[in-house]
Amino acid sequence: MECSLDRKKCRPCEGGIPPLGDDEITGLLRKLEGWEFAGNAIRKTYAFKNYYETMAFVNMTAWISHREDHHPDIYVGYNQCRIEYSTHAIGGLSENDFICAAKIDALLSV
């Protein structure tokens, strides 16, 4: 039985492996809600009621990033936040990007 993405742990990636191909990306995106493929990254914009909730989300994302040692680009507005994941060491996407995306979504559903 395959483990769901939010239950997996990121693996260290220092390069030397190829980025995921289009078919792999498409398959992994099907496991995520609201995420889209853009260039060499996946991204999602989250909406909130106010700045406080937005910043709480940013801090939650920072906590996940620290635990997984995999860090997104974060764009913050008053009541929204866009998260973009890419594995810079390989110039594209790895499973780590999808794992972290799933973990963020899972925490928001608690």
CATH of the domain at 80: 3.30.1360.20
Task: Calculate the average pLDDT of the chain.
Answer: 93
47 domain-assigned: yes
109 domain-assigned: yes
DSSP 12: P
74 domain-assigned: yes
Domain count, the chain: 1
Percent of the chain with pLDDT over 90: 81
64 domain-assigned: yes
Neighbours of 78 (CB within 10 A): 8
Segment 31-39 shows an average pLDDT of 95
All residues at 6 or more sequence positions from 19 whose CB lies less than 8 Å from its CB, including other chains:
40, 87, 90, 91, 92, 93, 94
Which pLDDT belongs to residue 11? 87
Look up the domain containing 59 and give its range: 42-110
Q: What strands lie across the sheet with 36-38, from one edge to the other?
A: 36-38, 41-47, 80-85, 73-76
Q: Using a cut of 0.85, tell me whether the model's pTM lies above it.
A: yes
